[in-house]
């Protein structure tokens, strides 16, 4: 199933914060980066018709979030 909605204002969610990528992570553009400063945010992903939600994390470089 595809993600139908992203909820950024729920419990255990946070907006972009700086982290250091020790291991390879996939950014929102689909590029793998490691060993550099990137940004991370957590949100709730709504799957299907809205009855199932799960916490998700996404990573981005500075130019992705500007």
Q: What is the pTM of this model?
A: 0.82
The whole-number pLDDT of residue 50 equals 64
The residues, any chain, with a CB within 8 Å of residue 30's CB and separated by 6 or more, are none
Q: What share of the chain is helix, strand, coil (3-state, %, to 5)?
A: 5, 60, 35
pLDDT single digits (tens) 35-44 = 999 999 999 8
Report domain extents, the chain. 3-65
Q: What is the pLDDT of residue 1?
A: 65
Averaged pLDDT score across all residues of the chain: 90
């Amino acid at each position: 199933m595809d993600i139908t909605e992203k909820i950024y204002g729920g419990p255990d969610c946070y907006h972009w914060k700086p982290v250091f990528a020790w291991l390879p992570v996939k950014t929102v553009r689909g590029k793998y980066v490691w060993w550099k400063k990137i940004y991370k945010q957590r949100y709730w992903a709504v799957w299907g018709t809205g009855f199932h939600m799960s916490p998700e994390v996404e990573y981005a470089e500075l130019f992705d979030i500007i």
